[in-house]
Each structure stands twice: as structure tokens, then as C-alpha cells.
Chain A
Amino acid sequence: DVKVTQSSRYLVKRTGEKVFLECVQDMDHENMFWYRQDPGLGLRLIYFSYDVKMKEKGDIPEGYSVSREKKERFSLILESASTNQTSMYLCASGISKLYSYEQYFGPGTRLTVT
């Protein structure tokens, strides 16, 4: 079974703090993704990476950055946390090949910024 793990299930941070969310996958997938999930908005893509040291902006990259130094690990960074970044953050990994664009999700990190 594919396993995607996230470093924390719950996190509380103060406004202005630098926040690191870590994600690790064990299936040697090329692609990794960070989403935020908000009620009524579904999942929105923040950043994704299709290879080590490569990154692409998603639909809502403002206020976030990412790092992928190893294939299995993808980090999301909030340089200066703000209250509007309070949300559920989901990491996913996947392969992309013809007829298969499945993604496998971690359990999520619920971040509260006070």
C-alpha cells in the first residue's frame, strides 16, 4: 500500500511565525502536491513538484513556498504565518502516465494560526 505521512496532525502557531509542514511518501512517486482544504471550496492546489528540486505554482501559491531536496520528501513553508492560513493542509503523491493520474493522500495537518 502507498503510504503518505505528514509530520503533524494538529498544529497551532502564532501570527508571524515560520511554519514547516513535512510530507513523506514511500512509493518512489515522481509527483508530490500540497493542497489546502476549506469548507465549501474543496481542495485547492498550492504547489506541486514533479522531480527533486523542481516546483510549480498551483492555484493559490501566495504566502507559501516549498522545498523538495529528496524524492520522497516535500515540505510546505509558511514564511510568516497569518490567520487566513488557518486551514487543513493535505499532501499527496502520484505518478502520471497515460490513463493514470491518481493521487494518494496523507491524513492532513490541521493548522491554526492565532
Chain B
Amino acid sequence: DTGVSQNPRHKITKRGQNVTFRCDPISEHNRLYWYRQTLGQGPEFLTYFQNEAQLEKSRLLSDRFSAERPKGSFSTLEIQRTEQGDSAMYLCASAGPGTGELFFGEGSRLTVL
């Protein structure tokens, strides 16, 4: 069990560029979550998948954000036309069947200049 893996750990980009983050969940986990966290705040729900199906996406999430989980394994989160307000830690978590207990990766920190 290698835990939840996220890449890259840090990304610095210029405003207007696109960025993509990858998350590899714990192998037997069927659910995968994306959260965004800024300093002093709790994780903000973005979206979650059960296997390859995206079951819910936050209403607060603009159309610039998209997530995929092809074949129900790893997931990618893409942010298009980044803005300075997108600077945050992007956390991925996975959970096993029938449980809501989340296991988090170490996060991908995005800085938009």
C-alpha cells in the first residue's frame, strides 16, 4: 500500500496558463475526491468520482476546472486560464467501498503569478 500519490507537488505558473494535476489513489479504493485548501481554511470540496463516474461537482467551481478519472484509476484535475485566485493547495483523497473515511495525498501546491 503506497498511499495516495499526487504530482507535481509544486507548480508555479503565469496567469492565463493551463495546469494539470495528477492523483493516484490507493489501489483498492473506488472513490476519489479533489479538494482545494487555502491558508487558514478547511478543505473546500471540488468534485468526487466513484470508479470512473463523476458523481458531483461543486457549484462554486467555474467551467475552467475539469476533472477526469479514466478507467476508474488515476485522476487528473485541469485548470484552464489560471487566475491568481486559483493559488491554493489542491488535495486529492481516496476512500474504499462503503466507507467515507478519506485518505489524503500530500497535495499539489499551485502558485499563479
Q: Does A pair with B? A: no
Chain A interfacial positions (CB closer than 8 Å to B): none
Chain B interfacial positions (CB closer than 8 Å to A): none
